[in-house]
């Protein structure tokens, strides 16, 4: 079975993530969407919330599961018997950030990284931008599922 891990912070999941996840699910027998849990990093949503939002967002994809992980993504891949990591690339800056990680992950355990270009409609969407725009009252409804929008609206303090 070809199994891949799609890791990320998903704070929160956006349509950009869902574009990559949906297309990656079509390439592998099983896709594990892996939510990085790093207690030293402050996030808007806690790990359980990020996982719950993702599970709701991918409920219609049969060959996919969502899991949290701590520590190295390569250790998680070995534990799950996954042969590949899938990452989305929006722009050259993503490539510069992702390439050394892909090479390090390959050197550590031989797990290979598969890069998928984001669709042009999603290439500017990121969780950080969505949070910033939403915090100032901007309309981010085109970039996240409805229930993520609700979670964002109730979580974010409204800035002026
Ligand atoms: O959505 P993000 O913030 O780009 O996700 C980053 C994540 C969680 C995928 C990345 O930080 C990660 O893989 N963390 C696990 C720790 C690890 O393996 N670090 C070494 C990478 S070479």
All domains in the chain, ordered by first residue: 3-119 (3.40.50.620)
Q: For ligand 1, is residue 37 a contact (CB within 6 Å)?
A: no
How far apart are the CA of 160 and the centre of ligand 1, in A?
Answer: 33
Token pair of 149 as six digits: 């929008």
pLDDT of amino acid 117: 96
Per-residue pLDDT of the chain (160 residues; tens, 9 = 90+): 899 999 999 999 999 999 999 999 999 999 999 999 987 888 999 999 999 999 999 999 999 999 999 999 999 999 999 999 999 999 999 999 999 999 999 999 999 999 999 999 989 999 999 999 999 999 999 999 999 999 999 998 765 5
Per DSSP, the residues of 66-127 read EEEE-S-HHHHHHHTT--EEEEEE-SHHHHHHHHHHHHHHHHHH-PEEEEEEPPGGGTT--H
Judge whether 40 counts as a catalytic residue. no
pLDDT of amino acid 160: 56
Are 123 and 91 in contact, with CB atoms under 8 Å apart?
A: yes
* Omega cis (within 30) before 12: yes
Token pair of 50 as six digits: 């990020």
CA distances from 110 to 18, 33, 51, 105 (A): 26, 19, 27, 7
Which of 14, 73, 126 is the best mutation target for the ligand 1 pocket, counting ligand atoms within 8 Å of the beta carbon and taking the most? Answer: 73
Token pair of 91 as six digits: 């722009």
Judge whether 41 counts as a catalytic residue. yes
């Amino acid at each position: 079975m070809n199994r891949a891990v799609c890791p990320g912070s998903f704070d929160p999941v956006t349509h950009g993530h869902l574009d990559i996840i949906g297309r990656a699910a079509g390439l592998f027998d099983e896709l594990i969407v892996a939510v990085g849990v790093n207690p030293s990093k402050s996030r808007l949503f806690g790990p359980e919330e990020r996982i719950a939002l993702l599970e709701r967002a991918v409920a219609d994809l049969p060959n996919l599961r969502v899991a949290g992980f701590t520590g190295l993504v390569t250790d998680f891949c070995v534990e799950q018997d996954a042969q590949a990591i899938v990452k989305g690339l929006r722009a050259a800056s993503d490539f510069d950030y992702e390439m050394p990680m892909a090479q390090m992950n390959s050197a550590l355990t031989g797990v290979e990284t598969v890069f998928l270009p984001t669709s042009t409609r999603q290439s500017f969407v990121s969780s950080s931008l969505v949070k910033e725009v939403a915090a100032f009252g901007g309309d981010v409804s085109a970039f996240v599922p409805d229930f993520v929008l609700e979670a964002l609206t109730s979580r974010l303090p409204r800035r002026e």
